[in-house]
Structure 1
Amino acid sequence: MRTVLVVDDEFGVAEVLEAILQDEGYRVVTAINGRQGLERAAETPPDLIMLDLMMPIMGGAATLAALRAEPRFRQVPVILMSSLDEATARESCSGFQAFLRKPFRIAEMLPVLERLVDAGEPVPGDRAGA
């Protein structure tokens, strides 16, 4: 069973993603900020991370930088989520493989997630694709 780590400070977003992903057969681990996300990743290594850009305590950009600095997480695909547009998000953050602008539709999210998890594609250093 593939594991997805959802890091988002909005309880409703994390809860909905958890329910949908579990229904799709994924094991889901959640965290409410980047610091907790790093702890959860160390406890239960994820196959993919869904990461909110703007969070208290430790935001998405700092979390992604910490993940990429850690050898065991360098190859884990990251889907960055934000209410900001992608160009603005790219100004503060790099190293993610896909971007979803909030609010997004589950029908848009699932194919992106499945492509990244199933392909096991290598993670480019700071190139993002979507």
Structure 2
Amino acid sequence: MSSVGGPPGPALVLIAEDEEPVAELLAYVVADAGYIPLLAPHGRAALELARARRPALLITDLMMPYLGGAALIATLRADAAAVGQTAAPAILVTGSGTRQALAAGADVILYKPFHIAAVEALLDRFLALASSGTESDGTRE
């Protein structure tokens, strides 16, 4: 398993999505690209998984029960900063909430409905960075 600072192997991609069909589609795309999907049905479960498994990439919905995507990203970034590390890149998926999405601090905002090719391109972009050790400049698309 590959994670930020982890041993080599297929990268772990945490998918935090409360809409099961969307979560399953994202998991399929991630697995088809050769990575390992970790599914969380809400933000609190995603936070627990992220802390335990340290994924190389987070794909999170903005609006979820228990803990929304913006709060999830902020918490994981604070966790990483507290120990002098860089948090995994975050892709925020939303069907609405443009202001909230922009304020969330995600590396990229992916609007629903999305094209599978867009997800594949983002996987390549961020997981190539994770495997090369190169850091993102923090800009949004």
Question: Shorter-normalised TM-score: what interval?
Answer: 0.7 to 0.9
Aligned with 2:135 (options 117, 122, 128): 122
Aligned with 1:12 (options 1, 14, 21): 21
Q: 1:7 to 1:128 in 2, by over 3 A?
A: farther
Aligned with 2:91 (options 75, 79, 82): 79
Residue 123 (structure 1) shift? 4.5
The residue number in structure 1 matching 2:117 is 107
User: 2: distance between equivalents of 1:128 and 1:30?
Assistant: 26
Residue 45 (structure 1) shift? 1.3
Q: 1:78 to 1:35 in 2, by over 3 A?
A: same
The residue number in structure 2 matching 1:40 is 49
The CA RMSD over aligned residues, in Å, is 1.8
User: 1: distance between equivalents of 2:118 and 2:128?
Assistant: 16
Aligned residue pairs: how many? Answer: 126
Report % sequence identity: 35
Structure ID, larger Rg:
2
User: 1: distance between equivalents of 2:52 and 2:79?
Assistant: 14
Aligned with 1:66 (options 75, 81, 93): 75
Q: Residue type of the partner of 2:24? A: E
Q: Any conservation in 1 of the 2:29–2:120 contact (CA below 8 Å)?
A: no
User: 2: distance between equivalents of 1:66 and 1:13?
Assistant: 23
Segments of 5+ residues of structure 1 without an aligned counterpart are none
Aligned with 2:35 (options 26, 32, 44): 26
Per-residue deviation, residues 25-48 of structure 1 (Å, max 9, x unmatched): 111101011110011112211000
TM-score for both structures, normalised by structure 1: 0.87
Segments of 5+ residues of structure 2 without an aligned counterpart are 1-9
